[in-house]
């Protein structure tokens, strides 16, 4: 019998569903270990995690669905979750429940049970409940819900084996006695009427209680998915009563909570009535307190910034570059010399190696930054950061958490754009990504310094400050314009403030592993490819002959071709144009290109710049460099985290803004 079942499920598909902050990701990591992969849900940038359950005798594929409080049709997370289950992508639902928050968690469970799929409840954090002086009766809960209940502690790795066994035992297949919970009489009679209508239409859904309830709630997405005729919709509207849509939405939610509360009361008993003040509240007296909150927040942020982009991050970055140059480039050059390989081939090889170095050099900063952000998220601080900064960030149309990626943008746009994953709202995430390039990144500092050393050696500090300020002001302006055009509906910030907890190292390790794999897979190729393109443009002339002298190359021609664009900005020569083009590869390349095209050592670049620029045109160039599109690596992660259209739009918009601003500066600021 069991064997038959096993054959039937060559590949059992399991979905993991639950509220946010229930330890869902931890459970997913415990069940799958390393056998997981991360992607995006089609069309949205909500993270999709899939994997295979460890230690099973047949493949069990598990999908981690986004954390939701309900299966309402509003947030992308809710729509993804319910569509995934409704579209028959799942044989079994594992509903993870936080035992310390049973009542609210059961509200989602009452909806999941209506879907009519096999459900196993993974009851997490029972140990914490006990520490609160309460005890939960699993058998009562199991009976009241009519499903299997498995107590676990995801954080302590308890009960995972039991849960895996329950998943593979397929016991739940025999467990058809779901307790379909009854609403009040009025609602029940309406559900029955809708059921009859759907039944008479031979709709497959007439037996799906979830669909029936949603039709009564007049859930637009579900109703349109049923492809009902107009007169059927009219009939249903009559059953509901035209003025009653709000009433049913409210009443159904209220009935569900009533049921949850009942179950909760029956299955949890107080063994210790002492009411303790939550430890988290005590910590929060300081952390989110009136006076200390903002200083502490800024200290934490600056610390993260300092570690990621300061000496430690830079050291790791140059270490990664060193590995490539000492470990690959040097032996390779000896080898190529020995083999007497021709110039073209060896220079091609070196272009690829340099590209690899570029890709790898991002990894340490990404790992450090992501590691620390994951610790903030896991410990519960990130929710506090949102609480503290929300009012300020809303002024530019963002929520509190968006402060973090924007600040990191001053270090490097690549990890900053990747870190927008901490944002829960799709539109907000896109706007934040769009604004990050305006935060002048660290790689631009040496470029600014070269120009400032030449023209404003006395006023370097104030000029630097003005450059950064200009970037920020443009970001504020762009956010304003963006909101005028897109008019995004303000999405609510109704967010749970989870208790503080000690972050799990197992989660951290898996998270960092996923992130690096993901970055190398999706972004590495683009960076590598564009290095090769620039190499090609730099090394060949228009008749495709290999040239040693860059000024003869296709790149120089291209520079000459676009230089007239800068006529009104005061730097319309092919040399600046070429420097700016290579700056698209990486901002550091601007200086090395300038020293090549001006035929000057980097130390003598001062002279060359003084000869080729005036104060006004130098300022215009600086403003252009500040505002023009970020490097190709940043654009690659831009595309990855949003979409191709947005990345292209930002490319065009930033170029135009930079051009207009540089023209204004050149013509208004005269010395």
Q: Which parts of this chain interact with other proteins (CB under 8 A)?
A: 69-70, 72, 74, 100-104, 107, 218, 220, 245-246, 249-250, 253-254, 257, 280-281, 284, 288-291, 293-294, 383, 386-392, 489-498
The SS3 call for residue 162 is: helix
Q: Residue 74 or 303: which CB sits closer to other proteins? A: 74
Conformational region of residue 544, where left means phi above 0, alpha means psi within -120 to 50, and beta covers everything else = left
Helix (H) / strand (E) containing 513: helix 505-522
In sequence order, which residues have a C-beta less than 8 Å from that of residue 12 and are 6 or more positions away? 58, 59, 60, 61, 91, 92, 167, 168
**Could you tell me the smallest distance in angstroms from the CB atom of residue 361 to other proteins?**
38
**Could you tell me the smallest distance in angstroms from the CB atom of residue 480 to other proteins?**
19
**Could you tell me the smallest distance in angstroms from the CB atom of residue 492 to other proteins?**
5
**Could you tell me the smallest distance in angstroms from the CB atom of residue 181 to other proteins?**
17
The SS3 call for residue 440 is: coil
Q: Residue 298 or 339: which CB sits closer to other proteins? A: 298
Q: Residue 101 or 569: which CB sits closer to other proteins? A: 101
Q: Residue 369 or 382: which CB sits closer to other proteins? A: 382
Return the number of other C-beta atoms located less than 10 Å from residue 131's C-beta: 12
In sequence order, which residues have a C-beta less than 8 Å from that of residue 601 and are 6 or more positions away? 595
The SS3 call for residue 395 is: coil
Q: Residue 166 or 401: which CB sits closer to other proteins? A: 401
Q: Residue 250 or 549: which CB sits closer to other proteins? A: 250
**Could you tell me the smallest distance in angstroms from the CB atom of residue 156 to other proteins?**
21
**Could you tell me the smallest distance in angstroms from the CB atom of residue 302 to other proteins?**
18
Angle at 111 between CA 108 and CA 117, to 5 degrees: 115
Q: Residue 264 or 635: which CB sits closer to other proteins? A: 264
**Could you tell me the smallest distance in angstroms from the CB atom of residue 532 to other proteins?**
47
Contact predicate 406/416, CB 8 Å: yes
Contact predicate 576/621, CB 8 Å: yes
Phi, psi of 575 (to 5 degrees): -65, -50
What are the residue ranges of helices labelled H in 201-292?
A: 209-216, 220-225, 230-240, 245-267, 279-287
Q: Residue 311 or 492: which CB sits closer to other proteins? A: 492
**Could you tell me the smallest distance in angstroms from the CB atom of residue 375 to other proteins?**
21
Q: Calculate helix-pair angle for 574-585, 589-597, nearest 10 degrees.
A: 150
Query: CA neighbours within 13 Å on the CB side: how many for 483?
Result: 15
**Could you tell me the smallest distance in angstroms from the CB atom of residue 152 to other proteins?**
19
Q: Which of 255, 275, 271 is nearest to 263 (CA)?
A: 255
Q: Residue 151 or 583: which CB sits closer to other proteins? A: 151
Q: Which of 29, 14, 22 is nearest to 123 (CA)?
A: 22
């Amino acid at each position: 019998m069991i064997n038959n079942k096993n054959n039937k499920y060559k590949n059992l598909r399991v979905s993991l569903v639950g509220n946010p902050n229930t330890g869902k990701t931890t459970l997913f990591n415990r069940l799958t270990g390393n056998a997981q992969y991360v992607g995006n849900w089609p069309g949205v940038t909500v993270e999709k995690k899939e994997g295979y359950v460890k230690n099973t005798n047949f493949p069990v594929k598990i999908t981690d669905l986004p954390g939701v409080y309900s299966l309402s049709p509003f947030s992308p997370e809710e729509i993804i979750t319910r569509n995934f289950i409704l579209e028959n992508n799942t044989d079994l639902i594992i509903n993870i429940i936080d035992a310390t928050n049973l009542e609210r968690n059961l509200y989602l469970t009452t909806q999941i049970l209506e879907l009519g799929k096999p459900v196993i409840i993974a009851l997490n954090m029972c140990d914490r409940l006990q520490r609160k002086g309460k005890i939960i009766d699993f058998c009562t809960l199991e009976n009241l819900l009519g499903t299997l209940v498995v107590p676990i502690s995801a954080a302590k790795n308890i009960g995972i084996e039991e849960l895996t066994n329950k998943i593979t035992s397929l016991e739940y297949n025999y467990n058809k006695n779901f307790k379909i919970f009854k609403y009040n009489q009025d609602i029940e009679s309406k559900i029955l009427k809708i059921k009859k209508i759907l039944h008479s239409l031979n709709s497959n859904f007439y037996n799906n209680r979830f669909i029936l309830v949603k039709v009564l709630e007049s859930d637009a997405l579900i109703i349109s998915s049923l492809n009902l005729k107009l007169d059927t919709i009219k009939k249903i509207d009559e059953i509901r009563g035209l003025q009653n849509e709000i009433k049913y939405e409210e009443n159904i939610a209220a009935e569900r909570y009533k049921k949850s509360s009942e179950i909760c009361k029956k299955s949890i008993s107080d063994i210790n009535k002492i009411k303790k003040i939550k430890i988290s509240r005590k910590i929060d007296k300081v952390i989110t307190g009136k006076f200390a909150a903002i200083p502490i927040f800024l200290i934490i942020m600056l610390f993260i910034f300092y570690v990621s982009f300061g000496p430690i991050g830079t050291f790791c970055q140059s270490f990664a570059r060193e590995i490539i140059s000492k470990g690959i480039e040097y032996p390779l050059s000896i080898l190529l010399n020995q083999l007497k390989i021709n110039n073209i081939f060896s220079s091609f090889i070196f272009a690829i190696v340099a590209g690899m170095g570029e890709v790898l050099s991002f990894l340490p900063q990404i790992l450090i930054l992501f590691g620390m952000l994951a610790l903030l998220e896991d410990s519960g601080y990130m929710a506090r950061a949102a609480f503290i900064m929300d009012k300020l960030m809303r002024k530019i149309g963002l929520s509190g958490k968006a402060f973090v990626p924007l600040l990191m943008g001053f270090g490097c746009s690549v990890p900053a754009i990747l870190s927008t994953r901490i944002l829960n709202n799709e539109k907000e995430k896109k706007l934040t990504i769009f604004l990050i390039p305006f935060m002048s990144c660290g790689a631009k500092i040496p470029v600014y310094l070269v120009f400032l050393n030449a023209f404003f050696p006395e006023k370097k500090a104030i000029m630097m400050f003005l450059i950064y300020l200009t970037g920020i002001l443009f970001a504020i302006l762009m956010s304003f314009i963006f909101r005028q055009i897109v008019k995004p509906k303000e999405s609510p910030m109704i967010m749970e403030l989870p208790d503080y907890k000690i972050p799990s190292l197992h989660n951290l390790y898996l998270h960092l592993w996923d992130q690096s794999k993901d970055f190398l897979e999706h972004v590495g190729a683009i960076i590598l490819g564009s290095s090769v393109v620039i190499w090609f443009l730099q090394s060949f002339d228009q008749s495709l002959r290999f040239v040693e002298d860059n000024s003869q190359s296709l790149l120089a021609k291209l520079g000459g071709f676009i230089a007239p664009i800068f006529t009104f900005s005061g730097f319309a020569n092919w040399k600046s144009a070429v420097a700016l083009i290579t700056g698209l590869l990486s901002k550091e390349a601007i200086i090395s290109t300038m020293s090549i095209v001006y035929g000057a050592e980097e130390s003598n670049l001062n002279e060359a710049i003084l000869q080729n620029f005036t104060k006004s045109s130098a300022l215009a160039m600086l403003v252009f460099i500040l505002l023009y599109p970020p490097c190709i690596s940043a654009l690659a992660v831009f595309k990855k985290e949003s979409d191709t259209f947005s990345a292209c739009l930002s490319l065009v918009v930033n170029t135009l803004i930079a051009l207009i601003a540089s023209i204004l500066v050149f013509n208004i600021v005269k010395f």
